[in-house]
Amino acid sequence: MANITVIPASKTLHSKMPVNARSRRKVAGYARVSTDSEEQLTSYEAQVDYYTKYIRSNPDWEFVDVYTDEGISATNTRHRDGFNRMIADALAGKIDLIVTKSVSRFARNTVDSLTAVRKLKEHGTEVYFEKEGIYTFDSKGELLITIMSSLAQEESRSISENVTWGQRKRFADGKVSLPYKSFLGYRKGPDGLPEIVPEEAEIVREIYKLFVQGKTVNWIATHLTSKGIPTPRGKEKWQTSTIESILTNEKYKGSAVLQKKFTVDFLSKKMKVNEGEVPQYIVDQSHPAIIDPVQWQKVQDEMAVRKSRGKHHNSLSPFSAKIVCSDCGDFYGSKVWHSTDKYRRVIWQCNGKFKGEHRCGTPHLYEDDIKRLYLRAVADLTEDRKVLLETCRMIHDEYLNSDTIDAECATLNDEIEVVSELTRRLIAENSTTAIPQDEYNRKYDALVERFHTAQDRLDELQKLRITRSFQADVLECFMFEIKAIDTSLPLEYTDRFWLNLIDRVTVYEDKRLVFRFKNGTEVEETL
């Protein structure tokens, strides 16, 4: 019979310490609350205090630290700085035991929880879950953790679904809320809905006014910064992105588009732009408007025009996106000559002049020459100011005359109402009478086509009305500047004078400049 000799274990399974060694375990606590509410913060502080005292009270334990995450969800560990720092320290051998309240405090994601526990176990670090009484070095520990983590994950899923349902129910009911701390012009009213903050609303109106006057978003941002006006987040310097956000946000016209984004996965919290995957809700007149809806739409149209012109319209100079090369069609841009000496000059030349093999033959321009020729063109334009203003007034009134548009819109609204009723009757008939489905589908498709044809034309006319109204406003600014000219004094250049009068300047190789004014008149001047 074979002799068997047993060699006793000399080290513990996970810690690699000698079996008989008396060594204090390095112990850390982990505390987390998922919101930053006052109630939860109290719980958070209590947890930190509890684990500090709990660990220090055990003579066999050596206190390391209490790692914390405040106002962080447990469904994903990627953004939990305290948790991740704790894991790193444990893997570095600084922690033997982690004490935490429960599996759900540790992680509500089954995969994350098991991955962390296994990684810690491999490096000799145990986790103790107080509430469940689970030690991860126990043979049954992993099974229990798997079960408890799965339950915690399903709880998170349920909570997420309830929150999502609540949000979408609020959307469907037309209830609007705003991020008031970072939203200029509104605060939360007594009824829970947005109410206007007068002094902030004036800033919003100023931004829209300056933009309509022709100022760029860069210019507006610089202007507000120079005046010492704080941003919506209370910062000193305004960014162009902030100005663009204010100019494009439909909430300033008293409307709201709800569910622009949605959460793809409750675990990762990943957000996605809504491209039709979930319903969107457009709520008109949901709260008081700071900007008139017509003016808001004019700004959107103007912004679309500027974006079509590219990056050149974002310059601080009033000449940007205004001067065009007749040779290649590109805009003129500013260049600095002799930037470091007394001969420093700012010149304007075609941005495409040195692009490719072909070089544009159009000349460069000095700013003084642009202003001089512009004033000469204005003088020629206003030679008979009375006739000019009368013509402009007639065009202005024509732009504002929407009788024909209104009549066609009324007809189209009647058509849409009739088609909607016919469709309703057809569907009702199909549900109660045995109609051949081919015939039903043919009639239904014909009605749908009629509806879309009428609706598309109605949308087109409404856009046309807004465009004509915008053109009327542009012409009104033009007439205001023309009327304000004092013929007894020499003409003087101002940025506003330029922006309200000039549509475009085209430069030719023979040094001709054609000034196209906002009333459509073109005046030619030569360098």
Structure confidence by residue, pLDDT tens digits, 220-272: 999 999 999 999 988 999 998 899 999 988 888 888 766 655 554 434 455 56
The residue among 511 and 437 whose pLDDT is bigger is 511
Q: Which fold has domain 25-159?
A: Rossmann fold (3.40.50)
pLDDT digits (tens, 9 = 90+) for 184-209: 999 988 877 788 999 999 999 999 98
> Which two structure tokens, joined as six digits, stand for 376?
């000469």
Cα 379 to chain centroid distance, Å, stands at 45
Q: Which fold has domain 191-309?
A: Hect, E3 ligase catalytic domain fold (3.90.1750)
* pLDDT at position 35 over 60: no
> Which two structure tokens, joined as six digits, stand for 78?
């990627």
- For every residue of 469-511, DSSP letters joined together read HHHHHHHHHHHHHHHH--TTS-----HHHHHHHEEEEEE-TTS
Rounded Cα distance, 2 and 22, in Å? 37
Q: Are the beta carbons of 124 and 14 closer than 8 angstroms? A: yes
Write down the pLDDT at residue 434.
Answer: 77
Mean pLDDT of 129-135: 81
Decide the pairing of beta strands 502-507 and 323-325: parallel
Where does the pLDDT of residue 16 fall: very low under 50, low under 70, confident under 90, or very high at 90 and above? Answer: very low
Rounded Cα distance, 515 and 520, in Å? 10
Rounded Cα distance, 225 and 211, in Å? 16
445, 446, 442, 440: which is closest to 426 by C-alpha? 440
Write down the pLDDT at residue 146.
Answer: 56
Length of the chain, in residues: 527
Rounded Cα distance, 61 and 497, in Å? 79
Alpha helix positions (H), 260-402: 293-308, 367-381, 385-400
Where does the pLDDT of residue 477 fall: very low under 50, low under 70, confident under 90, or very high at 90 and above? Answer: confident
CA distances to 218, 387, 395, 501 from 479, rounded to whole Å, are: 27, 12, 11, 9
Tell me phi and psi for residue 324, to 5 degrees. Answer: -120, 140
> Which two structure tokens, joined as six digits, stand for 191?
């009824």
Q: Are the beta carbons of 83 and 70 closer than 8 angstroms? A: no
Radius of gyration of the chain (CA): 35
> Which two structure tokens, joined as six digits, stand for 152?
């915690």
Q: Are the beta carbons of 282 and 257 closer than 8 angstroms? A: yes
> Which two structure tokens, joined as six digits, stand for 109?
């994601």
pLDDT digits (tens, 9 = 90+) for 382-394: 999 999 999 999 9
Highest mean pLDDT among 54-58, 104-108, 397-401: 54-58
Q: What is the DSSP letter of 362?
A: P
Domain boundaries of the chain, sorted by first residue? 25-159, 191-309, 323-526
* E strands present in 259-331: 261-263, 271-273, 281-283, 323-325
CA distances to 42, 204, 261, 401 from 232, rounded to whole Å, are: 30, 10, 22, 39
Give 70's strand partners.
33
**In what helix (H) or strand (E) does residue 134 lie, and over which residues does it extend?**
strand 134-135
Give 41's strand partners.
none
Write down the pLDDT at residue 488.
Answer: 85
pLDDT digits (tens, 9 = 90+) for 96-120: 999 988 776 776 455 566 678 778 8
88 SS3 class: helix
> Taking the complete model, does pTM exceed 0.85, yes or no?
no
